[in-house]
Structure 1
Amino acid sequence: MNLNIIAIIGYCAAFGTTISFLPQAIKTIQTKDTSGISLPMYALFTAGTLLWLLYGILSDSLPVAIANAITLIFASIILVYKIRYK
């Protein structure tokens, strides 16, 4: 498969999965309501996202690194709100 097609697929996948967190982050920031969010799940998810970011950086995979850097920001915001506004 052409390397450009592989990169395009990677960037599209990264965009789709990353942007999916934006509505939840916006809603959480606006309402400060995190009652429907599991703290252990979000803590593990955020830690996993950090590890995926490190993997992307260490393996020189720009789509993985960028997607997980952005997702880590969104997930961290939601996690902080979950802890702060119990």
Structure 2
Amino acid sequence: MWYVYFLKLSSGDIYVGSTNDLKRRFSLHRAGQVLSTKARLPVELKSYVAVETKEHARELEIYFKSGSGKAVALKRLVRTSKPAE
């Protein structure tokens, strides 16, 4: 399996990545060993999507980094605050 994952950074931004080993990759992020997130620790895993192939994961990662994909992810996959009661 491959995973597209969403991290909330200390800056409040959402980072999107993909991997075939989510536990290992998240550990690397938390340890500050990923260049693109190490300056914005701590990170929090907010959500992930599992797919069968690397190609599909990369397509989704690119989509979720686009304007419309980011809007969908923030609305449907990533909750950065409590919903209104």
Task: Judge same fold: TM > 0.5, yes or no.
Answer: no
Give the strand-richer structure, 1 or 2: 2
**Higher relative contact order, structure no. (Cα contacts within 8 Å, ≥ 6 residues apart):** 1
TM category, shorter: under 0.3
Give the helix-richer structure, 1 or 2: 1
The structure having more radius of gyration, on CA atoms, is: 1
